[in-house]
Amino acid sequence: MTAATTLRIPGRNLRRRRATDRIMRVLLGLAAVVAVIPLLLVLLYVLLQGLPALNLALLTQSPVPAGFPGGGVAPAVVGTLIMVGLGTLIGTPVAVLAGIYIREYAGGRGATVIRFLVDVLAGIPTIAVGLFAYGLVVIPMGSFSALAGAIALAVIIIPIVARITDEMLGLVPGSVREAAYALGIPPWKTIVRVVLPGAATGIVTGILLGVARIAGETAPLIFTALGNQRVTTSLGEPMDALPLRIWVYATGPYDSWHTQAWAASLVLVFLVLAFSILTRLVLRRRGAGRA
């Protein structure tokens, strides 16, 4: 056989490898599709069920007496915005600073221990976090409150953001820090002015993830914020939240409640989605402006 023919006729081994390659590609593609299907199904289902019930009244009105038609989930919308906002405000600075400490200041063993503890915190069931906030805030205050709910959410968001801050800071190459030290820039300033800006995009993404997570948490709010039938902005009083309202309505006996629960779910999903997309757009514009 000439060289030309041996190049073109695949040996048995090569044929088998090609076939395996094709099979694996198909399998992996299927796996990817299977992974994405639940997301699409959930979004689709919530959309189909919730959209018909969605109207302005739903968003602007408070609940009416049980079983009667009409009314809305305005207290829940406002409550979610306030408590998620406050929880993020309380938790994020602590988390970012903790992440900075773990990555930049803690020694090898110290860092390992703290990372472990942070991971443990992340794994604590959120209902237990709610009980913690109950003991810490509700009992001394003597009442259920939005503040207690916000604190519970803060505790939940802290390990998420701290871990991501830690990881993102680690992605900034050591050569950049060295360059700053060699210029006579003190370590703390190197972190604030050189390293942190480099990790900023990743950290903001982490915060986003945290916000999305706590926006959907129901359990920690049960013993803390309790829920409310009226729109309120007072932090010392019980406050409603979308997950709470959805849970109450979905498990309730009335059809009007059920449809409102679907609509509220749609609102919640939409809020989180919109927030994510908005932040990503802002980040991209900042990034593009620089690059």
Partner 1 sequence: MTLMTDQTTDPTQTTETTGTGPAAVPRSRPIDVAERAEVAVEHAGVAVDIDHLDAFYGTHRVLRDITLAVRPNSVTAIIGPSGCGKSTLIRCLNRMHEVTPRARATGRVRLDGEDIYAQDVDPVVIRQRIGMVFQRPNPFPTMSIYDNAVAGLKLAGVRDRSLLDEVAERSLRRAALWDEVRDKLSAPGGALSGGQQQRLCIARAIAVEPEVILMDEPASALDPMSTLKIEELIDSLRASYTIVIVTHNMQQAARVSDRTAFLTVGEEDRAGYLVEEGPTPQIFTNPRRQLTEDYISGRFG
Nearer to partner 1, 29 or 110 (CB): 110
Q: Indicate if the alpha-carbon torsion angle 35, 38, 41, 44 is positive or negative.
A: negative
Asked if 153 contacts 224 with a C-beta cutoff of 8 angstroms, the reply is no
Helix (H, G, I), strand (E, B) or coil at 75: helix
Nearer to partner 1, 52 or 110 (CB): 110
Kindly calculate the radius of gyration of the chain based on its CA atoms and give it in whole angstroms. 25
Nearer to partner 1, 22 or 189 (CB): 189
Q: Which residue type does 110 have?
A: G
Q: How far is the CB of 280 from partner 1 (least distance, A)?
A: 19
Nearer to partner 1, 18 or 193 (CB): 193
Q: How far is the CB of 177 from partner 1 (least distance, A)?
A: 8
Q: How far is the CB of 138 from partner 1 (least distance, A)?
A: 44
Nearer to partner 1, 7 or 291 (CB): 291
Residue appearing with tokens 């860092």: 111
DSSP state of 53: G
Nearer to partner 1, 12 or 290 (CB): 290
Asked if 97 contacts 135 with a C-beta cutoff of 8 angstroms, the reply is no
Q: How far is the CB of 288 from partner 1 (least distance, A)?
A: 11
* Per-residue CA distances from 21 to 17, 91, 99 (Å): 6, 47, 42
Q: How far is the CB of 167 from partner 1 (least distance, A)?
A: 17
Region for 63 from its dihedrals, namely left if φ exceeds 0, alpha if ψ lies in -120 to 50, beta otherwise = beta
Asked if 164 contacts 158 with a C-beta cutoff of 8 angstroms, the reply is no
Interface with partner 1 by CB under 8 A: which residues? 107-108, 173, 175-176, 178-186, 189, 193-194, 197-198, 200, 290-291
Q: Which residue type does 8 have?
A: R
Q: How far is the CB of 178 from partner 1 (least distance, A)?
A: 7
